Amino acid sequence: MTTLTRRGWKLATPMWFPLFCVAVTVLASVPVGILLDSGNGVGWYWLVASPLSAIVSGWYFTRRPTQMPDLRGLAVLLTGMGLLIAVGLIAWLYRGAWSLVAPWLVVGIGLAALAVGMRSLATAVVGGTAIASALVVAIIDPTHGYSWLALIVGLAAAVAAATEMLRTEPGTSHG
């Protein structure tokens, strides 16, 4: 029974791929931000990259041999959509003192909600890292604050994706 329970939890937490998408998308935003050298350039990047990452992650979940229960799958879908919409609206409409970190706070909160829905400790760690990093950057206001945030959150997501991938038994990670 313990083996079946452990295997069931591993099948129920297929978060390595979405975390990998987060890591690649976030880390790629750093050179984009440097190359475009403007807030608008990064904003346009996220306008394209966020929905694309969400679509690819959604495709991954629909291709899995084991699907989530309807209610949990719907909660995860609604959380993901709310996350995309909230970050987009904040990034494009809010110009206050916290404009750099506000989207990262929303991402952290959204990832924490997804972590609960997907029962993924690795996702919770990435969400907590995003929240903590955003708060630290808001308080100390370092030079290149965006790059620091993206590097920290991107590397946390990469480590979390690798951890989730290693946790998954051979044969259960394919989609």
Burial class of residue 108 in the structure, from the number of CB atoms within 10 Å of its CB (0-12 exposed, 13-18 middle, 19+ buried): buried
- Specify the amino acid at residue 121: L
Q: Is the pTM of this model over 0.85?
A: no
Residue 38: per-residue pLDDT: 59
pLDDT in single tens digits along all 175 residues of the chain: 565 445 544 444 578 888 999 999 999 988 887 787 655 677 778 778 888 888 887 788 777 765 555 555 566 667 767 777 776 676 666 666 667 787 888 888 888 888 887 788 999 999 999 999 999 998 998 888 888 999 999 999 999 999 988 876 555 544 4
Question: Hey, what are 32's tokens?
Answer: 């984009």
Residue 4: per-residue pLDDT: 46
Question: Hey, what are 21's tokens?
Answer: 């998408």
d(CA 169, CA 136): 37
